Amino acid sequence: MALLLAWMVGLAAAQGTPDDAVLRQQQAVEVAAQAVAAARADGAKRSVIAELMKHYRAEATELDALLPPLDATWEEERRARLQAVIALGEALAAGKSDDDAAEVLAAWLGEPSDRLTLLRKALASTETAPDTVRAAVQADVAEQATALSVWLAYDAAEARRRAEKAQLRAASLRRSGPGQGVGISAEVEAQQLEALALVETTRSATLSTLRTDVLALRAEAAIPRESP
Amino acid sequence: MTVAPSLLGLLGLVPAAHAVDGEVAIRIGGRTEPEAALEQPAEWEPAEEFEPAALTILSARVGHQDGDGPWWRVSGAAWGVAPEGESSLLSLTPQAGVSSLAGPWRLDVAGRTDLQAYVVEEGDASSVRGEVFASITRPSDRWIPRLSVVGIARQYPIQPTWSFRSVEPAVELTYRRDDGWVRWTGSGQANHHQDVLGTQVRTGVTMGLTGAKAELWGGYGLIAAQGGGTQAAARPPFTPLGDYAADADALSAGGFLQHRVDIGTSMFLGDWTVRASGLARLRQSVQLDPATFDRTGHGQLDVERPFGGPWTGVATVGVSGARLVGGGSYTDVYGWLGVRWTPRKADDEG
């Protein structure tokens, strides 16, 4: 962990800070995507979802226009990660799956709770650091927190969707009409599906809570520190 | 009416336990031909007029489930029917199951008992029905094979000649994707009724398309039955709550070939939950006993909407009917409106 932290601080300083405008726009895209996902989860009307989707698309287009040209290998890697974040935001807004993008972020960020701990330590370690290093680390933390937040929102939405599908199937299995009632095997399957739905609903809530912590950390990283 | 208060008491004892939940509901509605489901098919007349009836249903359920651990569920209902009260019914249905993992395999064992008592005048159709099930499954993301066996025994104390037993070992293969599934099932069945043994070979395919808020499913099943006594037709094929589809198909009845089609959907539309299902049978019997049914049809639509807190509004409309080889038939149209009280919902929102 210490080695990773040192590497992260060093890398942030060496690579320079992520573009502020890109970062801000990335966050705006995430907020818009999350708004669409929340509306879908709440069963909002098509017209409401279409309006939110339109806003999301506008934000995503603006982000695309802000992306700078590539001139270094590490920038290509960062671009690939950023593209994965954008793709996951798109999947989140559209209510679809994107396993490839999720895998890119999983390979980058690892276990979300471990990454959150690492980012907290990285931010805390800059208390006595020079301004340039502190600014670089803050920006890097904000960038990673944004990616983590999108990933968690996507994963929470996926878990919620799996839970709803399991509940739908269970509802279909429990037919009770005269002459239509189902046997014990269907009841066993319905119980298994409801158990799965319970697990996925709990997972979704846990991921949402973790995301709240990530957003708090990102807000902390965005606060300018007073010079010593 | 003694069933619901005891369940209510049980519900009151366990509301704080995390995985225990329950509900109580009352519904009011009507049926056009409730008596048809109690009479022996041999007594149906081609032009018989059954009396429509108003009904009130008080039902309760309590259950426990905690992930993949053991589960149980007890449900009971009191159906009051007027002005002709023959089909008034008390029912109590306890059921339980347990599963365990053995390497890549999942083992499930479950059982259910259904006690049905027609407490006004007609007691013939009162019964005790038991069902046991065991399966071994290899869960995976895509292909899911399963071996299972289910045994059913239904005893009619007042009309023991209607009693029967059956056992059905089955093999099943499911292919699952995020957006749907297909399942093939093949089974053999043996049934015993009035000291006569019947056998059946069954196969079927079901499939479903699953979206974020809706599922559409359907299936086709074929039964080739051999042996068995023709007296099977003496038993009412359906009862108001003795509603198991399996029982109408259980007896070989001298042999038949039966086609069965199922279709249904479930939808979450904002605050609304909608479920609809239909089932149709077409039977070609070897022995053309006039009291043997040659086709049946069922359809039901259920709608639910939460009112806030623990209260949910529920509504049901449906139709259930059968036609005999000899021309006798009935079509029972039914519907009811009601309200359901679910205490866990109030806790969750609190």
Query: How do residues A138-181 score in pLDDT, each as one tens digit?
Result: 888 888 898 999 999 999 999 999 999 999 999 899 887 777 88
- Interface list for chain A against chain B, based on CB atoms closer than 8 Å: 40, 42-44, 95, 97, 161, 164-165, 167-169, 171-172, 175-185, 187-188, 191-192, 194-195, 198-199
CA distance A100 to chain B (A): 15
Contact at CB, A175 and B244, closer than 8 angstroms: no
Are B102 and B118 in contact by the 8 Å Cβ rule? The answer is: no
Are B339 and B316 in contact by the 8 Å Cβ rule? The answer is: no
Confidence band of A77 (pLDDT split at 50, 70, 90): confident
Which residue in the set A42, A43, A175 is minimally distant from B277, CB to CB? A175
Chain B CB contacts of A43 under 8 Å are 213, 268-271
Confidence band of B7 (pLDDT split at 50, 70, 90): very low
Tokens linked to B26: 């009352």
Are A126 and A159 in contact by the 8 Å Cβ rule? The answer is: no
Q: Does the model's ipTM exceed the 0.90 cut?
A: no
Residue found by looking up tokens 């366990």 in the block = B14
Contact at CB, B135 and A165, closer than 8 angstroms: no
CA distance B287 to chain A (A): 23
B295 sits in which H/E element: strand B293-308
Q: Is A156 exposed, middle or buried (0-12, 13-18, 19+ CB in 10 A)?
A: buried
SS3 label, residue B163: coil
Tokens linked to B338: 């009601």
CA angle B318, B324, B327 (to 5 degrees): 110
Chain A CB contacts of B267 under 8 Å are 168
SS3 label, residue B289: coil
For residue B70, give the amino acid letter: P
Chain B CB contacts of A177 under 8 Å are 243, 277, 298-300, 318, 320
In this prediction, residue B239 carries a pLDDT of 62
* A98-107, B34-43, B101-110, B182-191: segment of lowest average pLDDT: B34-43
Using the predicted structure, report yes or no on whether residue A8 has a pLDDT greater than 70. Answer: no
Interface test with A, best of B133, B267, B305 (most A CBs within 10 A): B133
Flag whether residue B18 sits within 8 Å of chain A, measured between CB atoms: no
**Cα(A113)–Cα(A118) distance, integer angstroms:** 9
Q: How many CB atoms lie within 10 A of CB B128?
A: 15
For residue B276, give the amino acid letter: A
* CA terminus-to-terminus distance, chain A: 28
pTM assigned to the model: 0.81
What are B66-73's contacts with CB under 8 Å, separation 24+?
Answer: B66/B18, B66/B19, B67/A195, B67/A198, B67/A199, B68/A192, B68/A195, B68/B99, B68/B101, B69/B98, B69/B99, B70/B96, B70/B97, B70/B98, B71/A191, B71/A195, B71/B96, B71/B97, B71/B98, B72/B96, B72/B97, B73/A187
Residues in contact with B144: Cβ distance below 8 Å, sequence separation at least 6, in sequence order? B137, B138, B173, B174, B175, B176
Q: What is the DSSP string of B62-73?
A: EEEE-TTS-EEE
Q: Where are the beta strands (DSSP E) in B119-213?
A: 127-137, 143-155, 164-177, 180-193, 196-210
φ, ψ dihedrals at B57, nearest 5° = -120, 120
Chain B CB contacts of A167 under 8 Å are 268
Bond preceding residue A178 cis, omega within 30 of 0: no
Chain A CB contacts of B248 under 8 Å are 179
Confidence band of B162 (pLDDT split at 50, 70, 90): confident
**Cα(B86)–Cα(B120) distance, integer angstroms:** 5
**Cα(A145)–Cα(A122) distance, integer angstroms:** 12
Q: Compute CA distances B218 → B154, B175, B280, whole Å.
A: 28, 15, 12
Per-residue exposure over B199-228, b if at least 16 CB sit within 10 Å of its own CB, e if not: ebebebebbbebbbbbbbbbbebebebebb
For residue B68, give the amino acid letter: D
Interface test with A, best of B116, B298, B348 (most A CBs within 10 A): B298
Contact at CB, A43 and B213, closer than 8 angstroms: yes
In this prediction, residue B98 carries a pLDDT of 93
3-state helix, strand, coil in chain A (%, to 5): 80, 0, 20
CA quadruple B235, B237, B241, B242: dihedral positive or negative? positive
CA angle B239, B243, B247 (to 5 degrees): 95
Give the pLDDT confidence of B31-69 residue by residue, as tens digits: 888 777 677 777 776 666 677 889 999 999 999 887 777
Contact at CB, A178 and B318, closer than 8 angstroms: yes
Flag whether residue B131 sits within 8 Å of chain A, measured between CB atoms: yes
Are B331 and B37 in contact by the 8 Å Cβ rule? The answer is: no
CA distance B131 to chain A (A): 7
CA quadruple A93, A98, A102, A105: dihedral positive or negative? negative
Q: Compute CA distances A122 → A202, B38, B42, whole Å.
A: 30, 75, 83
In this prediction, residue B8 carries a pLDDT of 36
Q: How many CB atoms lie within 10 A of CB B125?
A: 25
Mean pLDDT of B195-217: 94
B18: closest chain A residue by CA? A198
Q: Is A14 exposed, middle or buried (0-12, 13-18, 19+ CB in 10 A)?
A: exposed
Confidence band of B96 (pLDDT split at 50, 70, 90): very high
Contact at CB, A181 and B243, closer than 8 angstroms: yes
